[in-house]
Amino acid sequence: DGRFLTLGIESSCDDTSVALLEGPRRVLSWKISSQIERHAAFGGVVPEYASRMHLEAILPLTRAVLDEGGVADPAKQIGLVAVTCGPGLMGSLLVGVMTAKAYAQAWKVPILGVNHLEGHIYANMIDHEDLKFPFLCMVVSGGHTEIVLVRGCGEYQMLGATQDDAAGEAFDKVAKALGLPYPGGPVIDRLSAAGDAGAFEFPDVLHNLEGLDFSFSGLKTAAINQVNRLRQKGEEIPLEDFCASFQNTVVKTLIARLEQAVRLTGVKSVAISGGVAANSAFRRAVAEHEGWKSFLPSKMFCTDNAVMVAAAGCAAWQSGRRGGLDLAPDPALDF
């Protein structure tokens, strides 16, 4: 009927998600099955549990998305199956990729593998029709902290990346030390609202770091040590102040690198994505930054989801990228 429908599948970590997209950005249906509660007891994602839960969730989720999206005959109506093929957890990726291949083969529909980072970048396209190339995108999540110059679909230049921990990982580990539940990022965000960001001092994260790279393990360790020191002294930790100070340090670091990237490239369109892009202090700092044209994905598309994967797949297809049933998951997929 002339409409180009993309079925998107995301299963790289601990969220199973399926989406049905019409054209580049019209969401017909999307669903997500989160495993957070199951993993929370362990304080992090347990890969073996993750893949088993993906396996249980993915077929009913796809069925529900097709139903809700009004797709009665996928072989006729679906134009493309797009699936995250890496980077991520091997067992988790495998479930998504094999499911996508099975559907593509059964329906005789083309399939494209999408890099998870490319997906995060395209989260910005869903809400912003006015986002044009070139732009800078900072992907900050539990597994990534990267600044990418996006020149076009498939034309990505990595300007900087973390040399150790991702920003989200630092949030999660510091939250854990404070006795807060997993994932800690959103909890720290919430507590920070009532805190004094100047109450605690943390080391300068970017000290001695060349170029646009990041390092968060020093900050993470400094924060955890400070928690332990206060505990040993029997002092009560003012949670709100501690969280606000820590969050402020991370946000200042991210903004400083974005400012450098803008200076270096002359590109003033700045987008963000990934779970940490849901952070309210970070969003405010980006949105209100002078001299930038800022783009923020809605919070639900910051964290892992299949809509961004469908959007990236659709754009790649339209720009001429082609793939086949030899698609294989790659946990360490390069960008």
Binding residues: 116, 120, 139-143, 172, 185, 189, 279, 304
d(C-alpha 182, C-alpha 45), whole Å: 10
Which of Zn ion, ligand KG4, none sits in contact with 113, Cβ below 5 to 8 A by type? Answer: none
Q: Which helix (H) or strand (E) holds 82?
A: strand 78-86
d(C-alpha 234, C-alpha 109), whole Å: 63
Token code pair at residue 235 = 């002092």
Residue 117 or 227 having the CB closest to Zn ion: 117
Q: Which of residues 211-250 bind ligand KG4 (CB under 6 A)?
A: none
**Cβ 82 vs Cβ 313: under 8 Å:** yes
Residue 142 or 195 having the CB closest to ligand KG4: 142
Q: Interacting stretch for ligand KG4, rule CB under 6 A, among 54-62, 235-243, 269-277, 312-320?
A: 269-277
DSSP 244: H
Which of Zn ion, ligand KG4, none sits in contact with 215, Cβ below 5 to 8 A by type? Answer: none
Residue 300 or 325 having the CB closest to Zn ion: 300
Shortest Å, Cβ 114 to Zn ion:
12
Among residues 192, 139, 196, 191, which one has the least CA distance to residue 168?
A: 139
Q: Which of residues 1-20 bind ligand KG4 (CB under 6 A)?
A: 13
Among residues 221, 219, 224, 279, which one has the least CA distance to residue 255?
A: 279
Which of ligand KG4, Zn ion, none sits in contact with 317, Cβ below 5 to 8 A by type? Answer: none
Q: Is residue 171 a contact residue for ligand KG4 (CB under 6 A)?
A: yes
Tell me, residue by residue from 271 to 310, as one string, x for binding to ligand KG4 by CB under 6 A and - for no binding: ---xxx-xx-----------------------xx------
**Cβ 112 vs Cβ 97: under 8 Å:** no
Residue 184 or 195 having the CB closest to ligand KG4: 184
Sequence letter at residue 196? D
Tell me, residue by residue from 130 to 169, as one string, x for binding to ligand KG4 by CB under 6 A and - for no binding: -----------xxx------------------------x-
DSSP 180: P
Shortest Å, Cβ 282 to ligand KG4:
7
Beta-bridged to residue 27, according to DSSP, are: 21
Q: Output the CA torsion sign for 284, 26, 313, 111.
A: positive
Residues in the site for Zn ion, rule: CB under 5 A?
141, 304
Residue 5 or 310 having the CB closest to Zn ion: 310
* 3-state SS class at 40: helix
d(C-alpha 5, C-alpha 317), whole Å: 12
